[in-house]
Each structure stands twice: as structure tokens, then as C-alpha cells.
Amino acid sequence: MLSRCVASRLSLVRSRALSTTTTVDSLGSIDAYWKKDRIAKTTSNSAESRGFTYLVMGANKFIYASAVRIGALKFIASMSASKDVLALASAEFDVSNVEVGQTITVKWRSKPVFIRHRTDAEVADAESVGMDNLRDPQSDADRVQTKDWLIVMGICTHLGCVPIANAGDYGGWFCPCHGSHYDVSGRIRKGPAPLNLEIPPYKFLGDDKLLVG
């Protein structure tokens, strides 16, 4: 009796196990479903996508480079001097009526410029001065282009006053503000001024035309 009951139970367990195995096998592997859900990608599509990306990136770089170039050109153009500024940068003067021994004052960049037509005696006096006697040593030849003409800025190198021509202890210029004396070469000889009168950039355009600047 006992043996029959055990055999019956074993038969029941075996039938259930077989039924479970059949059900699992009928479902199949989950790998099959995963393969079906994957997106198919071909080599040609991938190459086309990369090509498009490179094209977009290249176009962006070209646009950025063009923008930088345009900005640089505009900045340089803004830094260029306008026509009216260039006109003020230089000035032309007629010196045909300046007599020997005479000094005239003209304006360049809103600053006074002394133009002196020197005599032979003044030239000889300027050339005879030794460097040991000068506070700011400079020969007369280094300060003129032609011996007869001296062109200097009309601004005292002490505090920026305008000296008086044909005055002072050395016959050149005298600054009454603080007593600076300049000779006929525009060199400081006495007083508090530390430097000679400045020489502006200039050149002669013939015998009677002077271009300053």
C-alpha cells in the first residue's frame, strides 16, 4: 500500500516537471527579442552622418573666422586718422617775407613754433659755443638743417610758458615766468629750464616754403 502511494506521488512530480520544461521552451530565449529591438545601422549611413557633421563644423569655423576678420578690419579702420586729423598733422608756411634777423611765430597742432632767419653773426656765435658751457649739450649743426634758419617749438622746457624772442642774456629767447635764457640756437644757457627748446619735424619745400610735421 505504501509503495503504491509513493509511486503515485513520484509520477505526479515527474509529470509536473515535464509540463514546466515544455512551457519555458515554448517562450524561447530573451536574446531573440533583444535582437529584434536593436536599430540596424549600416556602414554607409554612418559615413554619411560623419561627413555631414564635418561639413557643419567646417562651415561654423569659416563663419567665425570671417566674423573675426571683419571685426579686426573695423577696429583698424577706427584707429586710422581721419582727413581733418591728417591735415592738422602737418602745416606749410611761406617764409619768403621773413627778413634776416627776424623771428616769426606760427601755429602747428595748436602750439607755437618759432621760425628764425639768422644772421651770419648769429650763426657764428651759435657755432662757437663749447659743449662744456651747455646744460643740455647739443651742437648747432645738430639743431638746424640749413645754417640760416632755426625752427624750434615756442614752449619753455621748464613749465611750458612761451618765451620772448630776441631777448635774454644770449640774444635768443627769454622766458619771463621763471627767468630761463636761450641762445640763438634755442639752447638753454641760464635759468631753471632743464632742456633746449624742442625741434619739431620739418623740411624745406624749396627756398621759401617750409613744411612742419
- Residues marked active site are found at 178
Which DSSP category does 95 fall into?
-
**Residue 98 to residue 62: CA distance in whole angstroms:** 63
**Sign of the C-alpha dihedral computed for residues 136, 142, 145 and 146 taken in this order:** positive
What's the order of all strands across the beta sheet hosting 111-117? 103-108, 111-117, 149-153
d(CA 92, CA 168): 29
CA 182 to chain centre: 39
CA angle 158, 211, 205 (to 5 degrees): 140
Determine contact, residues 151/200, Cβ cutoff 8 Å.
yes
Cα–Cα distance, 164 to 176 (Å, whole number): 8
Q: Do 182 and 170 meet the contact criterion of CB atoms below 8 Å apart? A: yes
